[in-house]
Chains A and B, each alone.
Chain A
Amino acid sequence: MTAGQMPRWADYILMPAINVAAAFFVSGLVVLAIGENPIDAVRILVWGAFGWNEGIGFTLFYATNFIFTGLAVAVAFHASLFNIGGEGQAYIGGLGVAFACLALDRFVPWWVTLPFAVAGAAAFGAAWAYIPAVLQAKRGSHVVITTIMFNFIAASLMVYLLVNVMAKEGSMQPETRTFEDGGRLPLLDTILPGVDFGSAPANLSFVLALIACVFTWVLIWRTKLGYEIRTFGANQTAAVYAGISPVRITVITMLISGAMAGMMAVNEIMGSQHRLLIEFVSGYGFVGIAVALMGRSHPLGILFAALLFGMLYQGGAELAFEMPAITRDMIVVIQALVILFAGALEHMFRPALIKLFGVLSAPATRPA
Chain B
Amino acid sequence: MFDTLILILDSTVRLSTPLLLAALAGLYSERSGVFDIGLEGKMLGAAFAAGAAAAVTGSAWIGLGAGIAVSIALALVHGFACITNRGNQIVSGVAINFLAIGLTALLGQDWFRQGGRTPPVTGDARFETLVLPFADALREVPVIGGIYSELLSGHNILVYIAFLAVPFTWWVLFRTRFGLRLRAVGENPAAVDTAGISVTWLRYRAVICTGILCGIAGAYLSVAQSAGFIKDMTAGKGFIALAALIFAKWKPVPVMFACLLFGFLDAVAIRLQGQQVPGIGEVPVQAIQALPYILTVVLLAGFIGRAVPPKAGGTAYVKERS
Contacts and interface: CB of A to CB of B under 8 A. Distances in A.
B82 A344 contact: yes
- Ranked 3 nearest A-B pairs via Cβ: A332-B102, A336-B98, A344-B92
Contacts of A160: 284, 286-287
A344 B87 contact: yes
Interface in B64-115: 77, 80-82, 85-92, 94-99, 101-103, 105-107, 109-110
Task: Say which size band chain B's interface belongs to.
Answer: 35 or more
20 contacts: A84-B90, A135-B300, A142-B309, A145-B296, A146-B300, A153-B294, A160-B284, A164-B284, A286-B98, A329-B116, A332-B101, A332-B105, A335-B98, A336-B102, A336-B103, A337-B95, A339-B91, A343-B88, A343-B91, A343-B92
Contacts of A339: 91, 94-95, 98
Interface of A: 30, 34, 82, 84, 131, 135, 139-142, 144-146, 148-150, 152-153, 156-157, 159-160, 164, 286, 289, 293, 325-327, 329-337, 339-340, 343-348
B290 A327 contact: no
A345 B81 contact: yes
A51 B85 CA distance: 38
Nearest to B103: A333
Nearest to B109: A327
B289 interface: yes
Contacts of A141: 297, 300-302, 307
B246 interface: yes
A98 to B, nearest CB: 18
* Most-contacted residue by chain B among A141, A164, A326, A343 (CB, 10 A): A141
A156 B286 contact: yes
A71 B77 CA distance: 28
Given A153-B294, A289-B94, A327 B106 contact: yes
Interface string B32-46: 000001000000000
A82 B90 contact: yes
B300 A344 contact: no
A156 to B, nearest CB: 4
Interface of B: 37, 77, 80-82, 85-92, 94-99, 101-103, 105-107, 109-110, 116, 236, 239, 242-243, 246, 284, 286-287, 289-290, 293-294, 296-297, 300-302, 307, 309
Contacts of B88: 343-344
Contacts of A333: 98-99, 102-103, 106
Contact of B101 (A84, A142, A329): A329
Nearest to A147: B297
B106 A344 contact: no
Nearest to B308: A140
A251 to B, nearest CB: 15
Contacts of A157: 286, 290
Given A141-B301, A345-B87, A153 B98 contact: no
Contact of B102 (A142, A152, A330): A330
B300 A142 contact: yes
Contacts of B293: 149-150, 152-153, 156
